[in-house]
């Protein structure tokens, strides 16, 4: 048996608030590391403009070092994203009571350790986020799911899923519009520059391999994100007409899977828009 009051109580348990804070911390940290990784790849690609008369250490050594650092930051990014998504998925499984039994005692202990480590490391900041709601400044993690009316059973779980989907669509839409444009400009610019300024195949490969792989990687990830988003929307529409245990479970699995795809929200937009979006959702439902 589950209802909106039980969800409200469970989501605000002390440990669960720390888990939510840690998840947010990891997502935000992953976003920053991702920017660093992109910057390293772009700087490496710019090295294509180094004159052919320059020493091999400058024309090849520095780009190779930058590419290696970009590879390391990409690895760090993936680890942070994995932790962030795992914590958020566990939060939902516990609070919504969907798939909670799929977690072993060992896996739950590991997630709690990750959360508590992040909390203890940033306790002052964490306490602010744990105390604040999404309507405060800075936006916090208390009252993650909000209910205008009392709902029970599948309707309570589904309402939380709808909030997840709505927020995700709001937060990611700007990135989904801007990123393809940026990628197109980057690819066009560097292809033109390579043709005009370099004939040395080795230099092109060393300088550009990082950004080429990153562009391809992002295209694949955004395609995967878009594909799973279509599935989520289809199941949500079906659930509006016929809500079953199977539908709720399938929808949650897709929501969890989408969180693990490296298409992140932009934290600065969340800080600026959280209060507005919180009120907006309430007004439109």
Looking at residue 3, its pLDDT comes to 93
Q: How many domains does the chain have?
A: 1
Q: Which residues of the chain have pLDDT under 70?
A: 52-53, 171-180, 183, 186, 190-191, 193-203, 206, 266-285
Looking at residue 276, its pLDDT comes to 62
Looking at residue 184, its pLDDT comes to 76
Q: How many residues does the chain have?
A: 285
Looking at residue 197, its pLDDT comes to 61
Structure-token pair, residue 233:
């929307």
Task: Write out the residue range of the structural domain in which residue 148 sits.
Answer: 4-284
């Amino acid at each position: 048996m589950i209802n909106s009051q039980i969800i409200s109580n469970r989501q605000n348990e002390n440990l669960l608030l720390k888990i939510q804070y840690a998840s947010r911390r990891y997502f935000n940290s992953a976003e920053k590391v991702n920017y660093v990784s992109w910057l390293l790849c772009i700087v490496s690609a710019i090295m294509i403009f180094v004159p052919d008369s320059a020493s091999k250490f400058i024309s090849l050594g520095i780009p190779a070092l930058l590419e290696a650092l970009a590879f390391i930051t990409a690895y760090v990014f993936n680890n942070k994203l994995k932790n962030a998504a795992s914590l958020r998925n566990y939060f939902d499984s516990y609070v919504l009571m969907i798939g909670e039994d799929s977690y072993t005692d060992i896996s739950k202990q590991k997630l709690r350790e990750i959360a508590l480590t992040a909390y203890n490391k940033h306790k002052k900041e964490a306490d602010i986020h744990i105390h604040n709601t999404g309507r405060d400044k800075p936006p916090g993690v208390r009252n993650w799911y909000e209910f205008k009316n009392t709902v029970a059973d599948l309707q309570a779980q589904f309402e939380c899923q709808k909030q997840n989907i709505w927020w995700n669509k709001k937060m990611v839409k700007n990135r989904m519009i801007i990123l393809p444009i940026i990628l197109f400009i980057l690819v066009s610019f560097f292809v033109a520059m390579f043709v005009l300024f370099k004939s040395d195949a080795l230099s092109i490969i060393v300088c550009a391999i990082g950004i080429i792989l990153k562009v391809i990687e992002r295209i694949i990830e955004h395609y995967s994100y878009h594909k799973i988003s279509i599935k989520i929307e289809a199941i949500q529409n079906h659930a509006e007409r016929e809500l079953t245990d199977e539908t709720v479970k399938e929808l949650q699995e897709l929501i969890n899977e989408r969180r693990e795809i490296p298409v992140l929200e932009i934290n600065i937009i969340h800080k600026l828009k959280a209060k507005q979006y919180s009120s907006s959702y309430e007004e439109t439902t």
